[in-house]
Amino acid sequence: MDLSEQLVGSKVILKKYPTTFEWAEELLSITKKNYSHLVPWMNWAFFLKEGSVEDEYEFLKMCADDWEAKSHFEFGIYSIETGEFLGGIGLIKLAPSCDKKAEIGYWLTKKACGKGYMQEAVSLIEGFAFDLGYNRIVIRNEVTNLSSKKVALSLGYQFEGVERKGHFCASENEFVDINVFSKLKGE
């Protein structure tokens, strides 16, 4: 099982998050600077508003433990050209048993949006997932998140339907509808 800690494309490089207090400080700073951009879609951003560096460091330790257990893979997204951190992407909700399915979750900083970075990052991590033997990849997003929907459709993910009230949106304090997209290994 190839567990590459770096996935390289033409625009972005995905790197396993380092488990350091310094990176926790930097990641917390970046997410807080992008709070209003992230909070409509990312519950973790809502809870980070009052979060501490210690909380972020605990998240990084959890990511390292999950990586070791092969139960969740988180990567930072970096620009090939500048080395700048652009966002994060994870292979989450893994079902490695006979179902062999996983979900991809992702986010970008506001200034990184609309430049094709996420399409390449998703392509890289889906290749990683298929190489690990997963057969089905799912992308879920709120029906109002048109940018995320565009990413899924541009990469050939099939729209399966709407999961009614399938996600609790912390910033709105309500359940919202979720689009469900999928791609199979053979597609």
Where b means 16+ CB within 10 Å and e means fewer, 124-147 reads bbbebbbebebbbbbbbbbeebee
- In the prediction, which pLDDT does 120 show? 98
Query: Measuring CA to CA, which residue among 185, 142, 183 is closest to residue 164?
Result: 142
Identify the band that residue 1 occupies on the pLDDT scale cut at 50, 70 and 90: very low
Phi, psi angles (nearest 5°) of residue 125: -75, -30
Q: Is residue 163 situated within a structural domain?
A: no
Q: Is residue 164 situated within a structural domain?
A: no
Query: Measuring CA to CA, which residue among 182, 155, 180 is closest to residue 167?
Result: 180
Q: Residue 42 sits in which domain range? A: 6-139
Segment 8-60, tens digit of pLDDT: 999 999 999 999 999 999 999 998 899 888 888 787 777 777 778 998 899 99
CATH code of the domain in which 97 resides = 3.40.630.30
Q: Is residue 29 situated within a structural domain?
A: yes
**Paired tokens of 38:** 């992230």
Q: Which of 37-41, 121-125, 139-143 has the weakest average pLDDT?
A: 37-41
